[in-house]
Amino acid sequence: MAVSVDEAVSTGPARDRTPPARRFGGRGRSVLEVALLTALAVVMLFPVLWMIETSIKENRDVYAVPAEFFGFTVTMDHFKDVFVAPDGGRSDLSVAFLNSAVVAGVSTLLATVLGVPAAWAYSRFAVRAKKDQLFFILSTRFMPPVVVVIPIFLMYRQLGLIDSKLGLILIYTAFNVPFTIWMMKGFVDEVPAEYEDAAMLDGYTRLQAFWRYTLPLLVPGIAATAVFALIFSWNEFVFAIFLTSSDDVRTAPPAIAGLIGGTTTDWGLVAAASVVFALPVLVFAYLVRKHLIAGVTLGAVRR
Amino acid sequence: MLAVTFISPALLLLLGMSVFPLLWALYLSFTDYSATRGGPARFIGFANYTAILTSAQVHQRALTTLIYVVGAVTLQTVLGFGIAYLISRRAHGRGVLTTLFLVPMMLSPVVVGLFWRFMLDAQFGVINSMLGSLGLGQVEWLTRQRTALISLIVVDTWQWTPFIMLIALAGLTAVPKYLYEAASIDRASEWFRFRTITLPLVWPLLLIAVLFRSIEAFRLFDLVYILTNGGPGVSTETLSFHVYKVAFLGFNTGTASAYGILMVLVVIVLTQLYLRYLNKLKEG
C-alpha cells in the first residue's frame, strides 16, 4: 500500500520537485518555515507597533511622507492630551475611560452573580428541556447588535434609560450572562458532583454543599470568565454609540471614535488613546491565556 | 426548587432584555411606525417584508455581505490554518509565537478600524508610503468603490486570522503522534499524511471556527462604521449597516424592524447549524 501511495504522489511533474526537498532534509525546509512564520508575525504585529510608534511621535512626524520608521523625536504629549484637557482640567477622554471602567465592572459583576448559579444548576440538575434552554441562551448572544438596539432604544426611551450608565450596564449584563452560563457550565462540569453528594451525606443542604465545597473550587474559573466578560464590555461599541450621547455617560469606544469626526484628525491623539484603551485588554487577555479558546468561542469549545 | 431559583433570575433578565425587545420588533415589523414621527403605529400586514425582499437595494447589500463574509472567512481560514500548521511543527517557542499572533484578536474593532483607516490613508498612510518606496503606485484604499470592500476584507482578516489559528492549533496539537509515526513507517508522503490524518481530525473543529466566524462576520457593524462608513457610495454597505441607515437615518422603524427580524432568522439558522456540529464534536 505504501508503495502505491508513493507512486501515486510522485507521478508526473511532482517527481521533479520531490527529490530536492528530500535532499535538503528537514533543515532547509525548517529554515524556510521559520522565515515564513517570522514574516507572517511581522505582518500581524506591524499595525500594533505602528500604532505605538505614532502615539509617541510629534505631529509633524506623524504626517511625514514618506513615513518615518526610525529617528523621530519621542514625545509624551499625546498621552498627556488623553488625560488632561487643554485648560488643565480632566479631558473628555479620561472621563470616558472612567465611565468604561464603571460600566464594564458593574455589568461583569452582575453577569457573574446571575450566571454562575445558573451554570451550576444547569450542570447539576435535570432541568426540563435543558438543551433547548441552553440553545436559547446562547442564541440571544448571537443576535446582531444593530437589530437588537432598535427595540432597546424604543424601550429605553419609554423607561428614561437613554443616555444613562444604568442602561448600558443592563444591556451589557444581558449580553454577558449567556457567555457566563456557557463558560461556567464547562468549569462546573469539571468539578465532580460526588463532592456535593458526600457533603450532603454529612448533613449539609445542597445549597451549603455548593457554597462550601464547589464554589471555592470554581474561583479560578469564575475569575477567568469574569475577565472575558470585562473585555467584551470594555470593547463594546454598537450599544454604546446608539444608547449614549453626553460626555458624562459616554464610554471610551465611542469617545475615541468621536476623535475622527471633524475635518482634521489628530492621529497622534487617536493612537495614544487607542494604546491606553488596548493596554489593559492585552494584559488581561495574557492573564487568561489558558482559557482563551473557551473564552473566544463563548464557552462552546474547550480543550 | 433550587434549580429554578438559581436559573430564573438569569432567564428573566434575558427575557426582559432580549426576548421582549425582539417581540416588540416583531410587532413593529407589521406596522408603519416611525420613531421620530411618533403617532400610533398602523398595522400594514406583510408590506414591510415584501418591500424588503423585493428591494433591489437590499439585494445589492445582501450580495456585498455575501462577498464580504465568504471572502473574509475563506482568507482567515486558509491563513489561520496555515499559521497554525507552521507553529505546530515547531518544537520551541510555540507559546511565545501563539501569544504574539493573538494580539489583533483581542483589540476592540474601534481601535482596529481607526488604526487601519490611518494606515490606509491615501496621502500620508504608511501602506502607500511603503508601496511608494518599493516603486509601486499609490492606491486609494478606502475611497474607491472596488478597493474599499477589499480593504474591509483585509482588515477583518488581519483581526480574525488569529481566531482560526487558535482553534486550528488546538485541533492540530490534539492529533495523536503515533498516527504520524505509523504513517512514516509506511513511508507515506507528507501530502498523503496531511490529507488522510491531519485534515480529517482537525476538520470538525475547524468547521466550528468557520461557522462561528461566519455568524460574527454576518452581523458585523462596527468595523464598517469606523473604516468606511458604508462608502464610497454604497460599496461597503453590508446588511447590518443598511439596517442601521434605515432605522437611524431614515427613521423607518417599522421597515427596519422587519429587516432586523429577517436577519435574526438567518442568524438563528446559522446558530442551529453551529450547535449541531458542536454537539456532534462533543459526542464523537
Say if the Cβ atoms of B10 and A143 lie within 8 Å: no
Per the structure block, which three cell numbers stand in for A36?
515564513
| Degrees, nearest 5: CA angle B77-B126-A76 | 110
- A129 close to B (CB below 8 A): no
Q: Which amino acid is at B258?
A: A
Q: Is B39 left (phi over 0), alpha (psi -120 to 50) or beta?
A: left
3-state DSSP assignment of residue B251: coil
Quote the pLDDT of residue A108: 97
Domain-wise residue ranges, chain A:
2-55, 83-296
Q: Bridge partners of B31? A: B43
Closest Cα partner for B87 from B96, B74, B75? B96
Quote the pLDDT of residue B284: 66
User: Helices (DSSP H) in chain B: which residue ranges?
Assistant: 2-14, 20-28, 47-54, 56-88, 94-106, 109-119, 126-133, 145-173, 177-185, 190-193, 199-218, 222-227, 239-244, 253-283
Residue A207 CB neighbour total at 10 angstroms: 12
CA–CA separation, A5 and A14 (whole Å): 13
Of A54, A121, A137, the CB nearest to B14: A137
Per the structure block, which three cell numbers stand in for B48?
414591510
Query: Which backbone phi and psi does A204 adopt, to 5 degrees?
Result: -80, 155
- In contact, A268 and A59? CB cutoff 8 Å: yes
CA–CA separation, B198 and B88 (whole Å): 11
Q: Per residue in A2-19, pLDDT tens?
A: 333 333 333 333 333 444
Quote the pLDDT of residue A15: 38
Quote the pLDDT of residue A11: 34
With a cut of 80, say whether residue B91 has pLDDT above it. Answer: no
Q: Which amino acid is at A9?
A: V
- The 3-class SS string of chain A reads CHHHHHHHHCCCCHHHHHHHHHHHHHHHHHHHHHHHHHHHHHHHHHHHHHHHHHHCECHHHHCCCCCCCCCCCECCHHHHHHHECCCCCECHHHHHHHHHHHHHHHHHHHHHHHHHHHHHHHHHCCCCCHHHHHHHHHHHHHCCHHHHHHHHHHHHHHHCCCCCHHHHHHHHHHHHHHHHHHHHHHHHHHCCCHHHHHHHHCCCCHHHHHHHHHHHHHHHHHHHHHHHHHHHHHHCCHHHHHHCCCCCCCCHHHHHHHHHCCCCCCHHHHHHHHHHHHHHHHHHHHHCHHHHHHHHCCCCCCC
C-alpha count within 13 angstroms, C-beta hemisphere, residue A32? 7
CATH match of B46-283 with 1.10.3720.10: yes
CA–CA separation, A111 and A89 (whole Å): 34
Q: Per residue in A82-128, pLDDT tens?
A: 888 888 788 889 999 999 999 999 999 999 999 999 999 999 999 88
With a cut of 90, say whether residue B275 has pLDDT above it. Answer: no
Say if the Cβ atoms of A139 and B271 lie within 8 Å: yes
Q: Which amino acid is at B133?
A: S
* pLDDT mean over A129-145: 89
Which ipTM did the prediction report? 0.89
Q: Tally the residues of chain B.
A: 284
Query: Which backbone phi and psi does A74 adopt, to 5 degrees?
Result: -85, 135
* pLDDT mean over B70-84: 95
For residue B230, the distance in angstroms to the closest alpha carbon of chain A comes to 14
Quote the pLDDT of residue B190: 80
B274: DSSP letter: H
For residue A89, the distance in angstroms to the closest alpha carbon of chain B comes to 25
* pLDDT mean over B151-155: 95
Q: Which amino acid is at A24?
A: F
**Which CATH architecture group holds A83-296?**
Orthogonal Bundle (1.10)
More confident residue, A179 or B233: A179
Q: Please give the distance of CA A96 from its chain centroid, rounded to a whole number.
A: 19
Say if the Cβ atoms of A174 and B14 lie within 8 Å: yes
Q: Per residue in A39-80, pLDDT tens?
A: 999 999 999 999 999 999 888 888 777 777 777 788 888 898
The pLDDT mean for chain A works out to 86
With a cut of 70, say whether residue B180 has pLDDT above it. Answer: yes
Tell me the longest C-alpha to C-alpha distance in chain B: 78
Quote the pLDDT of residue B204: 87
Q: Per residue in A191-243, pLDDT tens?
A: 999 989 999 999 999 889 999 999 999 999 999 999 999 999 999 999 999 99
Q: Which amino acid is at A202?
A: D
Quote the pLDDT of residue A303: 61
Of B132, B243, B259, the CB nearest to A66: B132
CA–CA separation, B248 and A186 (whole Å): 39
- B240 close to A (CB below 8 A): yes
What is the pLDDT confidence band of residue A21, given thresholds at 50, 70 and 90? Answer: very low
Residue of A nearest to B82 (CA): A37
| Contact residues on chain A for B76, CB-CB shorter than 8 A | none
Q: Which of A163-167, A170-174, B34-38, B126-130 has the lowest mean pLDDT?
A: B34-38
What is the pLDDT confidence band of residue A164, given thresholds at 50, 70 and 90? Answer: very high
- A1 close to B (CB below 8 A): yes
Across the A:B interface, residue pairs with CB atoms under 8 Å apart total 270
C-alpha count within 13 angstroms, C-beta hemisphere, residue A103? 34
More confident residue, A293 or B77: B77
